[in-house]
């Protein structure tokens, strides 16, 4: 499974304007298969452990979609920052869209893996749905400060 690649529609994944890089909304879709990523087995074992996979179906089946999508989305934002010469610390603002705000606590737990210190400036919004399907529960857009060298 790879999360890099071009967007699924006709828009830029990121755009630099001076020292700022703006990231389009990122969802957890594998660009190779165009399927929504929502199961622990779609991630490497070390990531699954970091996310808290329990191996108990009755727990994992409910937590996996949110935890997995959160990690995939934030990891893609990290990749975009690196591609533009920065790090995750360069990404100072996130706008987070949820189809159910009850998913936010699990997302916040994953976000701490990417921001163990000071969290970014954030906006959280609940929406009725996201493209390409109802399986998408989280979309995140970001803004980074990455000075030109």
Per-residue pLDDT tens over the stretch 57-106: 989 999 999 999 999 999 999 999 999 999 999 999 999 999 999 999 99
Task: Check whether 8 has a pLDDT greater than 90.
Answer: no
Q: How confident is the model at residue 5 (pLDDT cuts 50, 70, 90)?
A: low
Is 6 contained in some domain?
A: no
Percent of the chain exceeding pLDDT 70 equals: 93
Is 1 contained in some domain?
A: no
C-alpha to C-alpha distance for 22 and 20, rounded to whole angstroms: 7
| Residue 55 structural domain | 17-145
Is 8 contained in some domain?
A: no
Give me the pLDDT at residue 1, please: 41
Give me the pLDDT at residue 3, please: 46
Cα-based torsion angle of the residue sequence 130, 131, 136, 142 in order, rounded to the nearest 10 degrees: -70
Count of structural domains within the chain:
1
Is 10 contained in some domain?
A: no
Is 9 contained in some domain?
A: no
CATH of the domain at 98: 3.30.1330.40
Is 91 contained in some domain?
A: yes
Is 12 contained in some domain?
A: no
Is 72 contained in some domain?
A: yes
Task: Check whether 2 has a pLDDT greater than 70.
Answer: no
**HEC-encoded secondary structure of the chain:** CCCCCCCCCCCCCEEEECCEEEEEEECCEECCCCEECCCHHHCCHHHHHHHCCCCCHHHHHHHHHHHHHHHHHHHHHHHHHHHCCCCHHHEEEEEEEECCHHHHHHHHHHHHHHCCCCCCEEEEEECCCCCCCCCCCEEEEEEEECCCC
């Amino acid at each position: 499974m790879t999360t890099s690649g071009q967007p699924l529609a006709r828009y830029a994944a990121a755009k630099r304007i001076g020292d700022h890089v703006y990231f389009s909304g990122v969802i957890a879709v594998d660009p190779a298969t165009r399927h929504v990523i929502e199961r622990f087995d779609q991630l490497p074992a070390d990531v699954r452990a970091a996310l808290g996979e329990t191996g108990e179906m009755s727990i994992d089946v409910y937590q996996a979609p949110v935890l997995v999508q959160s990690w995939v989305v934030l990891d893609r934002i990290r990749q975009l920052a690196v591609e533009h010469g920065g790090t995750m610390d360069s990404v100072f603002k996130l706008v987070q869209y949820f189809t159910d705000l009850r998913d936010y606590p699990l997302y916040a737990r994953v976000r701490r893996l990417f921001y163990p210190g000071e969290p970014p400036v954030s906006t959280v919004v609940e929406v009725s749905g996201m493209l390409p399907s109802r399986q998408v529960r989280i979309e995140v857009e970001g803004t980074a400060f990455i000075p030109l060298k």
